Amino acid sequence: MNLTTPNAFVGRVAVVTGAGSGIGMAIARALAEGGAIVYLVGRRQPSLETLRAEIVGAGHHAEVCACDLSHDDDIHSLRNRLGTEHGRVDILVHSAGTISLGAIESAPIGDFDKQYGINVRAPYLLTQALLPLVKLTQGEIVFINSSAGMHTKEQIGAYAASKHALRAVADTLRMEVNAFGVRVLSVYPGNTATAMQDAIQDYAGKRLENQYLLQPEDIASVVTHTLLLPRTAEVTDIQLRPFRKAPA
């Protein structure tokens, strides 16, 4: 499904983390449909290769970057590759994330460390590494956050803390890079039909029907359309919720 104006992103180099599934995959697909050269970043190479084959088969451009964002060397290798192959990054989308549920009283501290590492530290370091290439193009940086980054609830304390921290990173970055012509967007989706949502529902012991969930393509459509706004405007924060409310 084409979510963007054909050729809207021609000539732009986009980097999308978490591109192997869910929201990241939908955004990567939409950017490629718009003509961007998309670097698909994630840990699961088979799913990235499948997506690349789909994109290339449709006449668009994508490259696979299988790497673990919890490893600093992988981030620096990605930066070196982009610097060598293009010397620029026009769009950086942080969509990789992880969640572990549990009460603060009993949740293993290792779960907190893992979520902080993937949800906060990795996008922080990747932004540091790629920012010189983004500033060259007066590019755009998108943080796919979560409704938990705005409001928390029981059993998601560590996850919510990481998403609140990610919001602080994005807000501070915006103040630091606007002067260089770089726009920064944070997106806060509610319940979305992804593998992460499946894990949450399994933990809760109840299943929401698809009609009560956002779809990854919904978020991709919002992101791509926002990226195409005239440069006289900057959207800083977008909250999305499923339109249909699940029965109590």
Name the active-site residue from 116, 159, 188, 203.
Answer: 159
What is the distance between the alpha carbons of residues 49 and 29, in angstroms, rounded to a whole number?
Answer: 13
Backbone angles phi, psi at 62, to 5 degrees: -155, 150
What is the distance between the alpha carbons of residues 138 and 130, in angstroms, rounded to a whole number?
Answer: 12
What is the distance between the alpha carbons of residues 14 and 228, in angstroms, rounded to a whole number?
Answer: 14
Q: Is 84 helix (H, G, I), strand (E, B) or coil?
A: helix
Residue 39: active-site member? no
CA torsion 105-246-201-104 (nearest 10°) is -10
Sign of CA dihedral 221, 165, 41, 76: positive
Kindly list the catalytic residues. Answer: 159
